[in-house]
Amino acid sequence: MRNAGELGADAARIAVGGDSAGGTIAAAISIVATSRGLRRPAHQFLIYPGLDRRGTYPSRESFERGVPFTPATLGLVRGALSLRARRRLSARVAAARTDPEQNPTTYLLAAGFRSAVDEGKAYAGLLRAAGVDVTYDLRPTLSHAFVNLAGSSPTRAERCATGSVPSRGAPEARMKQLRSRVAVITGAASGIGRALAIELATEG
């Protein structure tokens, strides 16, 4: 954010985002920034993040098997992290839930067939109750990692676009507000960052 002016960007309009563990980290960034007296992001874009490891939710029992990401898979991922990393990440996510009003405007894209879907919904509700502007976009027929599969075929891309309740608002109108502006995207070599960069460039 300190170098935003050099890049022609507006430091007051910087957003963070990520999917899965990346979404978990993005959700914790605002709390870390606040605790260190730094400017927090203006928006967070979370794609099926893990947000409450210690809580008990029905979806964890419903999706113990048969989906790409189960509680057992999560255990393997956590086992690959150092104890220090696990503690730091857990503490920051817990802080995001303890002080929900410190979170920025949030868009949370959720997958219905995922063991952590209930904790994402609870998190969105917690932020909304604290006065945070939240959009909770549930894709009830899709599973974890569906955004990674969108580019594999036109059929999959169409499913990702339509496997949800109708979207609210007009994306075209929002994109028009960004035309002739500068967008700085980090991590744009592949995946979500690359797709976003292409979409922004297409829209001018």
pLDDT band at 4 (very low <50, low <70, confident <90, very high): confident
pLDDT band at 32 (very low <50, low <70, confident <90, very high): confident
> How many whole angstroms separate alpha carbon 62 and alpha carbon 65?
8
Backbone Cα Rg of the chain: 17
Nearest CA to 184 out of 193, 173, 195 is that of 193
> How many whole angstroms separate alpha carbon 3 and alpha carbon 19?
25
Q: Are strands 134-143 and 15-19 parallel, antiparallel or unpaired?
A: unpaired
Residue written as token pair 């868009």: 107
Q: What is the mean pLDDT of residues 115-127?
A: 89
DSSP 8-state secondary structure symbol assigned to residue 13: G
pLDDT band at 125 (very low <50, low <70, confident <90, very high): very high
pLDDT of residue 87: 62
Residue 128 predicted with pLDDT over 90: yes
CATH class, 5-150 region: alpha beta
User: In this predicted model, what pLDDT tens digit does every residue of 171-193 receive, in sequence order?
Assistant: 455 556 667 778 888 777 777 77
Element containing residue 73 per DSSP (H, E): helix 71-79
Domain boundaries, the chain: 5-150
Residue 153 predicted with pLDDT over 80: no
DSSP string of 29-67, one letter each residue: HHHHHHHTTPPPPSEEEEES----SSS--HHHHHTSSSS
| More confident site: 145 or 1 | 145
Residue 203 predicted with pLDDT over 60: yes
Structure tokens at 185: 């995207």
Q: Which residues of 74-86 are buried (b: 16+ CB within 10 A; e: fewer)?
A: beeeeeeeeeeee
Range with the largest mean pLDDT of 12-16, 81-85, 88-92, 146-150: 12-16
pLDDT of residue 109: 92
pLDDT of residue 141: 81
